[in-house]
């Protein structure tokens, strides 16, 4: 992938897939422009700041101008440079272009990934504010209500989204903050979410992290190296949706804020926890044996005429084999947002998945989970959003340009 990698202030070097390799991961820098947006197959960085925005203007040109300015600033920040003309050294009579808190920090593997929500195409009053309603993808509809959803409207939806991932949280926060600053008057932050620890691997070079249930998560994820699987399950194909040719090479981003009732979970016996998940807690191996990456044997008999991997085990309920082989590229993060009114931690998983079509690749899996998954007793879905993620940004272009031309 020639040109997919840019050296910022750091000293990293690019591998064949654009991945950075360096002694200090914070030195990594990823190119903003390319065939696909960065931040999807990019090896999952450690930290997340995700923001959904409401667009305040009805003016199409103002929206396009914002996308142009966001593109420029993102290209600068992902290279480890300040946004605009910088935080210092300019005219002291003017506000600085950059807010400054990342001045001394390297690029830290920052990626900035943009998406468009259903309400951008047709708002709550049915208005086609930006003359794009006839190009709304068929699959870009509000997700259905799932059993177990207790969604907070203030943590759901949004006209636009920005996913900033980095190996230093100050760098991710800096990116979102500066994009919000650049958008002042045109957009307002609807909600934002910090994630402190990645819960998925998106590259075979990464080890599998743990979620707040204490289990390895994302073992069977689609990986950057699986190019055929990416084409089949993640990237929107050029013939997928005649209304939305602009989305070819893009993807859909499903975001779900999943609170875990971790205090209740922590009082469950180890054996029960492993039965709920269908894997061992230590190694993450399927209960049918082997090691982490061994395929689960769902037919292996256990005791009492039950299979050794229970019928309601998470690994079985969401397994591609139960859903016609569909797979997702998951990119979620653990979060803790202080404590709740009952003296527990407001904590869980901010689930992010990239899929080619949410109707086939996400909704059926979520429905099966809601109905049959033993884990659901320990989960509360408190936020939800769906975005169409346009393809990568070519030279001289702005993000989402094909939608507006």
- The footprint of its own copies (CB under 8 A) covers 47, 49, 51, 54, 87-96, 98-104, 168-170, 173, 176-177, 180-181, 184, 188-194, 196-197, 207, 209-215, 262-263, 266-271, 273-274, 280-282, 334, 336-339, 342-345, 347
Which H or E run includes 262? Answer: helix 262-265
- Residue 88, classed as helix, strand or coil, is coil
- Beta carbon nearer to its own copies, 89 or 242: 89
Please tell me the distance from the alpha carbon of residue 305 to that of residue 4, in angstroms, as a whole number.
Answer: 54
- Beta carbon nearer to its own copies, 105 or 133: 105
To its own copies, the closest distance from the beta carbon of 336 in angstroms equals: 5
To its own copies, the closest distance from the beta carbon of 286 in angstroms equals: 15
Label residue 385 exposed, middle or buried (CB < 10 Å: 0-12, 13-18, 19+): buried
Which token pair is 162? 């920005």
Q: Are 37 and 250 in contact (CB under 8 A)?
A: yes
Q: Are 321 and 297 in contact (CB under 8 A)?
A: no
Q: Are 348 and 258 in contact (CB under 8 A)?
A: yes
To its own copies, the closest distance from the beta carbon of 107 in angstroms equals: 16
**Mutual orientation of helices 60-78 and 169-182 as an angle, nearest 10°?**
150
- Beta carbon nearer to its own copies, 99 or 372: 99
- Beta carbon nearer to its own copies, 49 or 330: 49
Please tell me the distance from the alpha carbon of residue 209 to that of residue 257, in angstroms, as a whole number.
Answer: 18
Please tell me the distance from the alpha carbon of residue 91 to that of residue 96, in angstroms, as a whole number.
Answer: 8
- Tokens 């103002």, located at residue: 62
To its own copies, the closest distance from the beta carbon of 151 in angstroms equals: 15
CA-based nearest residue to 49, from 179, 216, 217: 179
To its own copies, the closest distance from the beta carbon of 320 in angstroms equals: 26
- Beta carbon nearer to its own copies, 95 or 324: 95
- Beta carbon nearer to its own copies, 111 or 192: 192
- Beta carbon nearer to its own copies, 36 or 47: 47
């Amino acid at each position: 992938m020639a040109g997919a990698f840019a050296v910022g202030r750091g000293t990293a070097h690019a591998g064949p897939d654009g991945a950075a390799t360096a002694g200090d991961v914070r030195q990594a820098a990823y190119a903003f422009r390319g065939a696909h947006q960065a931040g999807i197959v990019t090896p999952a960085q450690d930290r997340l700041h995700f923001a959904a925005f409401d667009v305040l203007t009805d003016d199409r040109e103002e929206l396009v101008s914002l996308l142009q300015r966001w593109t420029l600033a993102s290209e600068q920040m992902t290279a480890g440079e300040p946004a605009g003309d910088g935080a210092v050294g300019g005219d002291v009579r003017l506000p600085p272009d950059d807010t400054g808190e990342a001045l001394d920090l390297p690029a830290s593997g920052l990626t900035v990934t943009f998406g468009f929500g259903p309400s951008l195409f047709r708002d709550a009053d049915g208005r086609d504010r930006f003359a794009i309603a006839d190009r709304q993808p068929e699959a870009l509809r509000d997700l259905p209500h799932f059993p177990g959803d207790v969604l907070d409207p203030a943590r759901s939806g949004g006209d636009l989204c920005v996913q900033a991932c980095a190996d230093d949280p100050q760098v991710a926060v800096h990116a979102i903050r500066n994009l919000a600053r650049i958008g002042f008057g045109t957009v307002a932050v609807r909600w934002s979410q910090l994630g402190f620890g990645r819960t998925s691997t998106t590259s075979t070079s990464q080890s599998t992290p743990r979620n707040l249930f204490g289990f390895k998560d994302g073992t069977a994820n689609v990986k950057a190296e699986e190019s055929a699987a990416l084409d089949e399950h993640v990237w929107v194909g050029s013939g997928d949706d005649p209304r939305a040719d602009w989305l070819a090479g893009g993807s859909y981003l499903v975001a779900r804020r999943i609170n875990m009732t971790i205090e209740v979970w922590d009082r469950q016996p180890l054996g029960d926890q492993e039965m709920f998940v269908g894997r061992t807690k230590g190694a993450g191996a399927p209960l049918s044996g082997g090691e982490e990456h061994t395929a689960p044997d769902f037919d292996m008999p256990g005791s009492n005429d039950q299979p050794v991997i229970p019928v309601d085990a998470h690994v079985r309920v969401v397994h591609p084999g139960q859903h016609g082989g569909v797979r997702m590229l998951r990119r979620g993060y653990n979060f803790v947002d202080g404590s709740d009114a009952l003296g527990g931690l407001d904590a869980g998983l901010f689930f992010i998945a990239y899929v080619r079509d949410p109707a086939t690749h996400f909704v059926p899996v979520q429905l099966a989970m809601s109905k049959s998954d033993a884990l659901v007793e320990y989960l509360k879905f408190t936020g939800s959003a769906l975005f169409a993620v346009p393809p990568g940004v070519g030279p001289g272009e702005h993000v989402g340009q094909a939608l507006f031309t």
